[in-house]
Amino acid sequence: MNHSLEDDKIPEDCPLVQVMTLEEYRNSQERVSQELIFERNLHHIHYCKADWLDQAIFGTFLIPRKEALLGDKSGFCFYLDRKRLLFIDDTGFAQSLMDSIAEEKSSEKTSLVHLLFQFMEYMIRDDVLFLQKYEEKLTTMEEELLDKGLDNVNRAILQCRKELLRLNSYYEQLADMSETLVENHNGFLDEKDCYLFSLFGDRASRLYSNTQALKEYTMQIREMYQSQIDIRQNRIMSFLTIVTTVFMPLTLITGWYGMNFDKMPELHWKYGYPLIAFLSLFIILLEIWYFIRKRWLK
Predicted confidence (pLDDT) per residue in 213-231, tens digit? 999 999 988 888 888 788 7
Give per-residue pLDDT as tens, 246-255.
888 888 888 8
Distance between CA atoms of residues 130 and 254, nearest Å:
68
Asked if pLDDT for residue 266 goes beyond 80, the answer is no
Distance between CA atoms of residues 251 and 234, nearest Å:
25
31 confidence band (pLDDT: 50, 70, 90): low
Give per-residue pLDDT as tens, 177-198.
999 999 988 888 899 999 999 9
Asked if pLDDT for residue 6 goes beyond 50, the answer is no
209 confidence band (pLDDT: 50, 70, 90): very high
Residue type, 120: M
Determine contact, residues 166/69, Cβ cutoff 8 Å: yes
CA angle 39, 42, 47 (to 5 degrees): 135
Give per-residue pLDDT as tens, 133-142.
999 999 988 8
Average per-residue pLDDT in the chain? Answer: 83
Nearest of 5, 18, 62 to residue 177 by alpha carbon: 62
> Given this model, what pLDDT does residue 259 score?
77
Distance between CA atoms of residues 77 and 89, nearest Å:
7
Asked if pLDDT for residue 164 goes beyond 60, the answer is yes
> Given this model, what pLDDT does residue 105 score?
65
Determine contact, residues 188/217, Cβ cutoff 8 Å: no
Give per-residue pLDDT as tens, 47-101.
899 988 888 888 899 999 988 999 989 999 998 988 889 999 988 999 999 888 8
> Given this model, what pLDDT does residue 171 score?
96
Ordered alpha helix ranges (H), the chain:
22-27, 35-42, 93-104, 112-124, 127-148, 153-183, 191-257, 272-293
Given phi > 0 = left and psi -120 to 50 = alpha, else beta, which region is 34?
Answer: left
Give per-residue pLDDT as tens, 90-127.
889 999 998 888 887 654 667 899 999 999 999 999 99
Determine contact, residues 77/38, Cβ cutoff 8 Å: yes
> Given this model, what pLDDT does residue 5 score?
43
